[in-house]
Amino acid sequence: MGWKSLDDMDLQGKRVLVRVDINVPVENGQVSDATRIERIAPTVADILAKGGQPILLAHFGRPKGKVVPEMSLKVCLSALEQTFGQGVTLLETLEDAESGDLPAGIILLENIRFHAGEEANDAGFAARIAALGDVFCNDAFSAAHRAHASTTTLAKILPSCAGRLMQAELTALEAALSTPKRPVGAVVGGAKVSTKIDLLLNLVGKLDLLVIGGGMANTFLGAMGASLGSSLQEPDLHDTARDILEQAKSTGCKVVLPVDGRVSRAFAAGAPYELIELNADTVLADDQMILDAGDAAADAIVSEFKSLKTLIWNGPLGAFEIEPFDKATMAAAKAAAELTKSGDLITVAGGGDTVAALNLAGAADQFTYISTAGGAFLEWMEGKELPGVAALQG
């Protein structure tokens, strides 16, 4: 493990600088989805219960080191207060925080990325922030892949620990890939192989089973010789796809590609489709495209799930946003949820499209763990060291 949690810290009478991710969606000046705020509530509650004062450090949007009024954290205040059940004081400038006695209760420091020193990981800026507190608590796993002042350098200046959300993420991810119950498999889907080459190369060395879906699967099928009409694929990555398949063979990782697909001539909701067998000999017309894995493919994937003890999920199996090209993703998600519910499978999922698909399937609540981290989740799956996690480990 190598990192401390809130349970290891004496917080009585201490000011606790808490790096959180409240970069939430906003519509018409109101927070439209408070999930990320709700996920940090246990950390704030525990700090208060241990006699500490939480001082929240967060970013919102990408102001690039400049004060951008439209990216003020003021928009989050109401949702924070509603979630925490008490008032939150926003300090609008760092100078306000440094000027003297801080108010009691929960404090929110204005958008940390209004300062150029944050993303530059400037030691002087980190020292100014550190002077405001006694302890540093990182509860923003979703920002852990960034080597910024508030994610890494603060941890080197102050006694440090992981917050409850960070602790939950790290515990779940370590259990899923570092020390998993085997056999362990993964679903990796989405549009492009190019964005997930490092991920696939890392996974085939660690998994027993790899299910490839979405547009990515087309690139692999094309690499095997299939002619896939106007299907989304990356012909320039056919060699890379073949290399990944060869590496999987050498490490004993079984790769599952769709054995059939929902093929249509229109990318539109309700478009007519055919179920067509997919293999190296498949030849589609120029105007045909694969928009989803087929029924036989979904059945085969579900059958493979039943052989696993641990499943990691990142990416859909088709164009799940539009019917009827959501069928394979929905069927596989519901099956994974049922296996989790019955205690036969540990399931960990992450990534924006993945979470959206699992919610659509009504499966998210049954999964063992759903990561709210996008880029950090992906980089962890790629086997990369996350600076924010490394800093907590000393």
The full set of domain ranges for the chain reads 6-164, 171-381
What number of other Cβ atoms are within 10 A of residue 61's Cβ?
13
Domains 6-164 and 171-381 share a fold: yes
What is the Cα–Cα distance from 85 to 41, expressed in whole angstroms? 10
Which percentage of the chain shows pLDDT scores above 90?
91
Q: Which of 60-64, 170-174, 256-260 has the lowest mean pLDDT?
A: 170-174
Half-sphere exposure in the Cβ direction for 99 (13 Å, CA): 8
What is the Cα–Cα distance from 373 to 18, expressed in whole angstroms? 17
Q: Alpha helices of 115-196 — where are they, by DSSP H?
A: 116-119, 123-130, 154-157, 164-173
Looking at residue 178, its pLDDT comes to 85
What is the Cα–Cα distance from 267 to 292, expressed in whole angstroms? 11
Active-site residue, from 128, 309, 334, 375 = 375
Encode pLDDT of 33-86 as tens digits. 998 999 999 999 999 999 999 999 999 999 999 999 999 999 999 999 999 999
Active-site residue, from 36, 39, 113, 327 = 36
Q: pLDDT class for 359, splitting at 50, 70, 90? A: very high
Residues 200-226 have a mean pLDDT of 96
- Alpha-carbon torsion, ordered 177, 179, 180, 182, to 10 deg: 120
Active site residue 375: yes
Active-site residue, from 252, 270, 352, 362 = 352
Does residue 352 surpass a pLDDT of 80? no
Residues 365-394 have a mean pLDDT of 90
Looking at residue 99, its pLDDT comes to 86
Looking at residue 119, its pLDDT comes to 97
Is residue 264 within a helix (H) or strand (E), and if so which, with residue range?
Answer: strand 260-264
Does residue 274 surpass a pLDDT of 90? yes
Phi/psi at 382 (5° precision) = -75, -10
Looking at residue 1, its pLDDT comes to 63
Enter the tokens of residue 193: 């192989």
Query: Smallest Cα–Cα separation from 329: which of 339, 343, 315, 341?
Result: 315
- The pTM (predicted TM-score) of the whole model is 0.89
Looking at residue 351, its pLDDT comes to 84
Asked if residue 259 lies in contact with residue 317, where contact means CB atoms within 8 angstroms, the answer is no
6-164 CATH pick, 3.30.230.10, 3.30.565.10, 2.40.340.10, 3.40.50.1260: 3.40.50.1260
What is the Cα–Cα distance from 244 to 198, expressed in whole angstroms? 10
Angle between the N-to-C axes of helices 352-360 and 327-341, in degrees from 0 to 180, rounded to the nearest 10: 80
Instruction: Give the class (CATH, top level) of 171-381.
Output: alpha beta
Active site residue 36: yes
Query: Smallest Cα–Cα separation from 314: which of 180, 174, 195?
Result: 195
Active-site residue, from 192, 254, 334, 384 = 192
